[in-house]
A = this chain, B = another copy of it.
Amino acid sequence: MDQRVSEHAEVLVDWSARVEAGDDVVVRVDEGAHDLAVAVAEKLGERGANYLATYVSDEVESAFVRSHDGDFDDDPEFEVAMLENADVVLSLRAKRNTAAKGAVPGEKRAAYKKSRTEIKAQMMDTDWVSTMHPTRAHAQNAGMDYREYEDFVYDAVLRDWESLADEMARMKELLDEGSEVRLVKEDTDLTMSIEDRTAVNSAASVAYDSHNLPSGEVFTAPEDPEGEVYFDVPMTHDGTRIRDVHLTFDDGEVVDWSAETGQQALDDIFATDAGAKRLGELGIGMNRGIDRFTDSILFDEKMGDTVHLAVGRAYSSCLPEGEEGNQSAVHVDMITDVSEDSRMEIDGEAVQRNGRFRWEDGFEE
């Protein structure tokens, strides 16, 4: 077995999920995740934890949902009981076909999801972590050769997380103390308020309330954007590719927008509700192990030398106690490359220039 699979398991079990002796750990094994499941089981045995492996298959689920009449039982007790008694849930995502759910009618899919609300809540109530094991299907989705994709995934996952978490803590501190962020690059000069907001240091560990491996971003919930911004990293929204988005904000709302590709999809996003035209998130990608767009938000928004903004719903963890923040049915992340000819300022002082942070070599040049 690739030594990196074992290292991945160790990061997942120790850094991300903080598994301890006696923990009851549900391991959700996707169709293509067998090798990682073996490596994770080995680490769980070493730590003296207990494991129960479940089988997660889009094909199995689709067969069930399609043949069911659609009147699903709400939250079957055996699954709720399993999760109520679990300390940790590790999801090993590894699809063999990313299109496997395509044949399930959307209505039935939604009904099935709704019938599992309590199951989802119980899962979220554990120290859960979701990660990805590279498969040919995911490589195909990323438009990459399989070996090259493996390298990509392990570069993203096998970081020095402790040192990255420290670095992200510095960015969090700047955002927490600051009042206004300004982003400047090609076709971009945007200001937004971050007064009284709390940034999240998403360091791929439950100890940081961060539940994805890889992670590596610091995000907050800005408001009152003014100006224009250009997103040059492509994105896929509900199956549609959107490219080269330009937005203009006035008085806190999007007033003008365009996309080279996917204009209709962009129109639809802004037509969703009033909140869709306001900002929900400002995120700073700090995982330099991720150096290319692969059409997977798990990786894309964490990419080093990028900044992303989301229109729509804000995360409550960034908001002052009792404040609601922006509400919307959508939360759509859009990413811009800041590696060249760019500047991010907080309260008028540059904190990132051409991708370099204030505390890094090369920032002053």
Total contacting residues, chain A, CB less than 8 A: 48
A103 CB, min distance to chain B CBs, angstroms:
12
Q: Which residues 43-76 of A have a CB within 8 angstroms of B?
A: 43-46, 48, 50-57, 59-61, 63-69, 71-73, 76
A3 CB, min distance to chain B CBs, angstroms:
15
A147 CB, min distance to chain B CBs, angstroms:
23
In the complex, the answer to whether A57 meets B69 with C-beta atoms within 8 Å is no
User: Which B residues touch A79, using CB under 8 A?
Assistant: 24, 50, 52, 82
Q: A52-B54, A57-B34, A76-B24 are in contact. Are A63 and B85 (CB under 8 A)?
A: no
User: Which B residues touch A86, using CB under 8 A?
Assistant: 78
Q: A54-B55, A82-B79, A82-B81 are in contact. Are A45 and B65 (CB under 8 A)?
A: yes
Q: A43-B67, A73-B50 are in contact. Are A57 and B38 (CB under 8 A)?
A: yes
User: Which B residues touch A51, using CB under 8 A?
Assistant: 60, 64
Q: Is A84 an interface residue (CB 8 A)?
A: yes
User: Which B residues touch A83, using CB under 8 A?
Assistant: 78
A35 CB, min distance to chain B CBs, angstroms:
9
A12 CB, min distance to chain B CBs, angstroms:
14
In the complex, the answer to whether B37 meets A60 with C-beta atoms within 8 Å is yes
Q: Is A348 an interface residue (CB 8 A)?
A: no
How far apart are the CA atoms of A65 and B45 in the complex, in Å?
6
User: Which B residues touch A82, using CB under 8 A?
Assistant: 52, 78-79, 81-82
Q: Is A41 an interface residue (CB 8 A)?
A: yes
How far apart are the CA atoms of A65 and B22 in the complex, in Å?
14
User: Which B residues touch A52, using CB under 8 A?
Assistant: 54, 76, 78-79, 82
Contact surface of A with B, Cβ cutoff 8 Å = 22, 24, 26-27, 29, 31, 34, 37-39, 41-46, 48, 50-57, 59-61, 63-69, 71-73, 76-79, 81-86
Q: List 25 A-B contacts (CB under 8 A).
A: A22-B73, A24-B77, A26-B78, A31-B34, A34-B60, A38-B57, A38-B63, A39-B63, A41-B61, A41-B63, A41-B67, A42-B64, A45-B64, A45-B65, A45-B67, A46-B68, A48-B69, A50-B78, A50-B79, A52-B78, A52-B82, A54-B54, A78-B81, A81-B82, A81-B84
Additional pairs, 18, CB under 8 Å, beyond known A24-B78, A34-B57, A48-B69: A22-B73, A26-B78, A34-B59, A38-B63, A39-B63, A42-B64, A45-B63, A45-B65, A46-B68, A48-B68, A50-B72, A50-B78, A50-B79, A51-B64, A52-B79, A55-B55, A77-B85, A81-B81
